[in-house]
Amino acid sequence: MKALFIAYNQAFNEEIAEILEKNGQRGFTRWTDIQGRGSVDGTPHMGSHAWPEMSHAILSCVEDDKVEPIMAQLKEADMAAKDLGLRAFVWNVEMFY
């Protein structure tokens, strides 16, 4: 089991949900209106007059075999709109029911 943490410009909101849905990933937790700045380039997302954009983030626990297809589609979305900003991270996770 893996945990996907996806931080992205709010403009990607529906696209990220569609990527998860297309890959059979139903469950996720979304944080909205979060602030941040990328580590490489891009504009800060601070919700201010100077930097009005905001970010969202999703955490989703997925089966190992879903990670590669989801990450590939996220990378494709990021490459199609580099200026918006999208980063995804994968962690090993243990689930207890």
Residues 6+ away with beta carbon under 8 Å from 57: 5, 6, 7, 8, 30, 31, 34
pTM: predicted TM-score of the whole model, two decimal places: 0.89
3 state SS of 33: strand
Question: For residues 40 and 6, is the Cβ–Cβ distance under 8 A?
Answer: no
Per the DSSP assignment, residues forming a β-bridge with 9 are: 55
- The region of weakest confidence among 4-8, 11-15, 20-24, 92-96 is 92-96
Could you tell me the CA-to-CA distances from 84 to 29, 62, 65 in Å, in that order? 21, 25, 28
Strand duo 2-9 + 29-34: pairing: unpaired
**5: pLDDT confidence band, cut at 50, 70 and 90?**
very high
Q: What is 2-92's CATH number, 3.30.70.120, 3.40.50.620, 3.30.460.80, 3.40.640.10?
A: 3.30.70.120
- For 23-81, what is each residue's pLDDT tens digit? 999 999 999 989 877 767 777 777 777 777 888 999 999 999 999 999 999 999 999 99
- For 54-63, what is each residue's pLDDT tens digit? 889 999 999 9
